[in-house]
Amino acid sequence: MQEDYEWVQAVLAGDKQAYAHIINKYKNPLYGTILRMTKNPHDAQDLVQEAFIKVYEQLEKYNQTGSFSGWLYRVAINHCMDEFRKKRYQMKQVEMDSVHDVNAEHPEVVFMKKEKSRQLERLIGTLPEDERLIILLRYINELSYDAISDLVGVPLSTVRNKLHRAKRKMRKMVKREGGDFYELSNCR
């Protein structure tokens, strides 16, 4: 995006205030991704702050050929993965509120949406780390398969296979529990 490129150029030229624009634009989506990886709001906040520091320190390495957001996510996720490996990070289950505020008037509709969100968060939390990351990047951050492939550093076919396997595992778990999750059968 041209705006990102201009901000990066301004930061590299010494305008530290321009970095605030980058942080404001990406802090919420990055926090959402990292929160889903860690399942712990406090850890996610710390990792987001550390990731933005890493991005700032490595900004001159951004070659401006690919998208800035893809590069930023790559740096942030690599940082998180390093931290997970260092600390042998234990994933924790945390009740997560719905990502989007629900404006429905009827309490039953609100309740059903929250329950569905909790169920999906629980299902994603059962996946292995690599599959969980790819699911989050695809469906929460809405990245393309190519972007995920570049970001995670695996071939495109591996991204497709991991997505397919992850969705199949979640569908089996829902079936085994006697439930139904219509969205899992229709997500692409």
79 Cβ contact partners less than 8 Å away, ≥ 6 residues apart: 47, 50, 51, 54
Does 53 share its domain with 82?
Answer: yes
Give the range of the structural domain holding residue 62, as residue numbers without chain letter: 2-87
Class of residue 63 by CB neighbours under 10 A (exposed 0-12, middle 13-18, buried 19+) = exposed
The CATH number of whichever domain residue 39 belongs to comes to: 1.10.1740.10
Does 75 share its domain with 125?
Answer: no
What is the pLDDT, as a whole number, of residue 48?
A: 92
User: Average pLDDT for consecutive 10-residue bins of the chain (188 residues)?
Assistant: 86 90 91 82 90 92 82 86 65 38 53 70 82 83 82 88 90 74 47
- Sequential DSSP letters for the chain: -HHHHHHHHHHHTT-THHHHHHHHHHHHHHHHHHHHHHS-HHHHHHHHHHHHHHHHHTGGG--SSS-HHHHHHHHHHHHHHHHHHHHTPPP-------SS----SSHHHHHHHHHHHHHHHHHHHTS-HHHHHHHIIIIIS---HHHHHHHHTS-HHHHHHHHHHHHHHHHHHHHHTT---HHHHH--
Does 8 share its domain with 66?
Answer: yes
d(CA 85, CA 70): 22
In a domain, 93, yes or no: no
Does 170 share its domain with 114?
Answer: yes
Does 112 share its domain with 155?
Answer: yes
Q: How many domains does the chain have?
A: 2
In a domain, 98, yes or no: no
What is the pLDDT, as a whole number, of residue 157?
A: 93
Amino acid at 82: D
What is the pLDDT, as a whole number, of residue 92?
A: 39
In a domain, 102, yes or no: no
Does 76 share its domain with 127?
Answer: no
What is the pLDDT, as a whole number, of residue 127?
A: 86
d(CA 58, CA 52): 10
Does 47 share its domain with 118?
Answer: no
Does 80 share its domain with 132?
Answer: no
Does 80 share its domain with 124?
Answer: no
pTM: 0.54
In a domain, 118, yes or no: yes
